């Protein structure tokens, strides 16, 4: 699992995140400001975003809710 340098979307400090082989977005705490940002692996590289800016499909919390939801009428 290589560590990838990213810029925190909150405080713009450089930090490194370790991505799994999974392409699912993950929360990463910033060691500089302590905020959790989302890192999502894309074909062209790693994208980071604030939780508030993330679309539902890029938000681990939201994805969990959606995937665990049952198909009820």
User: Can you give the binding site for Zn ion, defined by CB under 5 A?
Assistant: 8, 10-11, 13, 30, 32-33
Assign 69 to helix, strand or coil: coil
Residue ranges of alpha helices (H) inside 21-69 are 60-68
Residue 33 vs 51, nearer CB to Zn ion? 33
Residue 33: both structure tokens together: 């400001």
CB of 5 to Zn ion, least distance (A): 13
Nearer to Zn ion, 11 or 46 (CB): 11
Order of strands, sheet of 36-42, starting from the edge strand that comes earlier in the sequence: 26-29, 36-42, 45-50
**Closest separation in Å from C-beta 42 to Zn ion:** 21
């Amino acid at each position: 699992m290589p560590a990838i340098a990213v810029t925190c979307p909150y405080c713009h400090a450089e930090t490194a995140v370790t991505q799994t082989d999974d392409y699912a977005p993950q929360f990463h705490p910033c060691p500089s400001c302590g905020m959790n940002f989302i890192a999502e692996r894309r074909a062209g590289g790693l994208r980071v975003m604030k939780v508030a800016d993330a679309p539902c499909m890029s938000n681990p919390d939201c994805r969990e809710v959606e995937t665990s939801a049952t198909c009820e009428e």
